[in-house]
Amino acid sequence: MTLTKAIGEYETARTWFDGLRQQWGEEPSDWEERLGALAAFCAFAEKDPDTMVKECLRESASGMRISAKGRRFYNDKIAEWQASVPGDRAAQGRAGNAVRSFLIHNGIFLQSGMQA
């Protein structure tokens, strides 16, 4: 799957960046590394960032809710991808946690996987 625009131009990537900036009180110094991890995960999952977030949501009578099925799918997919990331366990953990951070800042709460 090829992304249709630069990874940082997706609405959900901008939401993530804004969330990190607000949380830290400054722009993330490792932003390019985080974007690289997200782009690599998107290629692995064959989905763009906005689609991934949409697949983790569902419409209910009371409004939008987190889809347990979608969240579980991406939680498992991150763990699978993270184990395949080149480098040591710490590098794999950083990559996986970057993708988890992306989903969390878009309102999709996940449990952490393999830790660095």
Residue by residue, pLDDT tens for the chain (116 residues) are 789 999 999 999 999 999 999 998 998 999 999 999 999 999 999 999 999 999 999 888 888 899 999 999 999 999 999 999 999 999 999 999 999 999 999 999 886 555 44
Q: Does a structural domain hold residue 112? A: no
Task: Show the domain range for 100.
Answer: 7-105
Number of domain units in the chain: 1
Question: What is the reported pLDDT for 61?
Answer: 87
Q: Does a structural domain hold residue 45? A: yes
Question: What is the reported pLDDT for 64?
Answer: 85
Q: Does a structural domain hold residue 76? A: yes
Q: Does a structural domain hold residue 2? A: no
Q: Does a structural domain hold residue 1? A: no
Q: Model-level pTM?
A: 0.90
HEC string of the chain? CCCCCCHHHCHHHHHHHHHHHHHHCCCCCCHHHHHHHHHHHHHHHCCCHHHHHHHCEEEECCEEEECHHHHHHHHHHHHHHHHHCCCCHHHHHHHHHHHHHHHHHCCCCCCCCCCC
Q: Does a structural domain hold residue 52? A: yes
Question: What is the reported pLDDT for 59?
Answer: 86
